[in-house]
Amino acid sequence: MSITDDGEYGQKQIDFLELIWGKGFLSPGGTTEVDLVVDGLDLSGLHILDIGCGCGGAVFHLIKQHGAASAIGIDIEPLVIARATQLTKEYDLTDKARFEVVTPGKLPFPDQHFDMVFSKDAFLHIPDKETLMADIARVLKPNGIIAASDWMRLDDNPPSQVMQDYIAAEGLDMHMCSLDRYSKALTNAGFANIKRQDRNAWYLDLAEQEWQSMTTEPMRSQVVACIGEAEANETSNIWRQMIGVLEIGEHRPGHFRATKQS
């Protein structure tokens, strides 16, 4: 959002988003949403890559609550990796969790290296979904799993003016696409057993609750203390714009999961 003060995710933005979405998280739903993304999967003993890991909240949860043997989180933003590394020490998970700053492009890992690739609301920042899915397939072992949530759009037509205005207000690189495009990209990359879920209704309801919380006490004072009054007002306006594109159905968060064919 416009409170960015260094890169796309500066310290003020990190502090604000953790205040709204929970310790270690830079996107909505927290551990409950992570649980839904991996619902029904046995992660015991798996080695996991989290793409766009942010401050590490999902990595910690996958290890502590789902039994993953280890996880590497990668992100292009140095400040979020610094925060994730700090939390790794706080949670005493330095033997199982590792975080790395990467540059955009090919994943810096060998072929067939991970049992699962996870991502929570990060792929929207990557324009080329097809190349991304192919590279994920490359680093996954045979029968490896991709399980992800992302912010998406209803279709792949040019965005409406309302949607364009919202994206401009956010001030982030946002390349949202449809679930259909993800499905095609997964199929072309050699994935099967594709499962998908639309989460528009869920986040429309939650976003309304978030806006109510951040604009009333006691949260309002905490937000102002975190980012200042002017930016608190601007951010609440951006939230209303986001709610608007959720209401018309153009902004459609969702989940998808698939298995790499052996």
Across the range 16-22, mean pLDDT stands at 97
| pLDDT one-digit tens code per residue, 102-126 | 999 999 999 999 999 999 999 999 9
pLDDT at 10: 85
Element containing residue 245 per DSSP (H, E): helix 229-247
Say yes or no to pLDDT of 80 above 90: yes
List CB contacts of 161: < 8 A, sequence separation 6 or more. none
pLDDT at 143: 98
> 8 falls in which pLDDT band (50, 70, 90)?
low
Integer Cα distance of 111 and 138 in angstroms: 5
| DSSP symbol at 173 | -
pLDDT at 1: 41
Does the model's pTM come out above 0.75?
yes
pLDDT at 192: 98
61 closest CA partner among 115, 23, 107: 23
- Which listed CATH number (1.25.40.80, 3.90.550.10, 3.30.930.10, 3.40.50.150) goes with 11-260? 3.40.50.150
Domains of the chain, residue spans: 11-260
75 closest CA partner among 63, 87, 85, 61: 85
Integer Cα distance of 59 and 43 in angstroms: 12
| pLDDT one-digit tens code per residue, 197-256 | 999 999 999 999 999 999 999 999 999 999 999 999 999 999 999 999 999 999 999 999
- What are the start-end ranges of the E strands in the chain? 47-51, 70-75, 97-101, 114-120, 140-150, 191-198, 254-260
Integer Cα distance of 114 and 136 in angstroms: 9
Integer Cα distance of 45 and 62 in angstroms: 11
The pair of three-digit structure tokens given for residue 103, joined into one six-digit string: 């540059």
List CB contacts of 9: < 8 A, sequence separation 6 or more. 26, 54, 77, 79, 80
